[in-house]
Amino acid sequence: MNPQKKRIAAAVVLAIAAAGGGYLAGSGGAAPTAGAVQEAAAITALPANSVRVLYSLDQKQNDQELIALINAAKTHAYFAIYEFTLKDVADALVAAKKRGVDVRGLVDSTESASSYDQPIMQELVAAGIRVETEKHADGNGIMHIKALVTDSAYAIGSYNWTGSATTENDEILEIGTDPALVSTYEQLLLRLFTKYAGTNAAAQSAAANVYGEQSRTVLHGPYSVTDAANHIGEYAQVTGTLVDAYTSASGTVFLDFCKNYKSCPFSAVIFAGDADAFGDLSKLAEKTVTLTGTITSYQGTAEIKLSSLSQLKVQ
């Protein structure tokens, strides 16, 4: 076989290998050989200095991969996660805490306060797990990391810890045991835990819900739609004339207060799980409404998230 044909044949072999559900590769960075290809279905302990990359919809069990890592943790399990609604993963973290593993986490301030994430926050806090919450000084930015690090492995990628990310979304989850990468991710999370130490807003919010107390401070406002951006982080009222209530394909409802929502300084959002309680809000178009909630910032726009009808009043 001439050299050109050999190169073509080698390329075909590599393409076939890459089509596998996942792979194991040595820490040296070399491309995996045909003998190193492993089906993503197997939830097994990885060999030392190896990596497995999983595509969510091949087996639809990325949650079980995380649980296997948590169950194997001996000294610590640290996590940072943007959206967390999987009870089986929370149960595994609680079980690890009970057997003496140091379990700590970091979550996004807005997502952790949503009606979706709150039951998970409550479970973790009740078990004595420390969950810090990001607090960017300028009120912008989100905690968008999705990572788990134990004493022997890491898992990182686009995968949020939710049902839809497990069974419906196109997601990547990389699991590895390379000591250098495990240490790198561990040090990063520890740095963030220190940076946000004392915020523990997720714990405070969850505890307030557990005991049926209000975790709110002084109610500010009402502010206008144009002034809301000057009060990021305040628990306040915002009053404006509703232009439109748009429901996305996923069922999330967006309340628009400008004809051009892209340039509007303020908006409100109702996630799909809470939308039924509000009914058809499009009938409120051109009416003046007052919204109550914590003013947050999303991509530079002031926003209030609504989960209860009591947060919306029509004037």
CATH top class, domain 8-210: alpha beta
- Helices 87-98/62-72 angle, 10° precision: 0
Q: Are 224 and 269 in contact (CB under 8 A)?
A: no
CA nearest 289: which of 245, 235, 253?
A: 245
pLDDT tens digits along 120-170: 988 998 888 999 988 766 666 789 999 999 999 999 999 999 999 999 999
Query: Distances in Å between the alpha carbon of 210 and those of 51, 124, 187?
Result: 40, 12, 32
The one-letter amino acid code at 283 reads K
Q: Are 144 and 163 in contact (CB under 8 A)?
A: no
- Domain ranges within the chain, ordered by starting residue: 8-210, 220-314
Residue 14 — pLDDT band, cuts 50, 70, 90?
A: very low
CATH superfamily of 220-314: Nucleic acid-binding proteins (2.40.50.140)
- Residue 267: strand pairing partners: 256, 303
CA distance 201 to 113: 9
- What predicted TM-score, i.e. pTM, was given to this entire model? 0.58
Phi, psi of 161 (to 5 degrees): -90, 70
CA distance 260 to 74: 53
pLDDT tens digits along 33-91: 333 333 344 466 678 888 999 999 999 999 999 999 999 999 999 999 999 999 999 99
For residue 137, what pLDDT is reported?
63
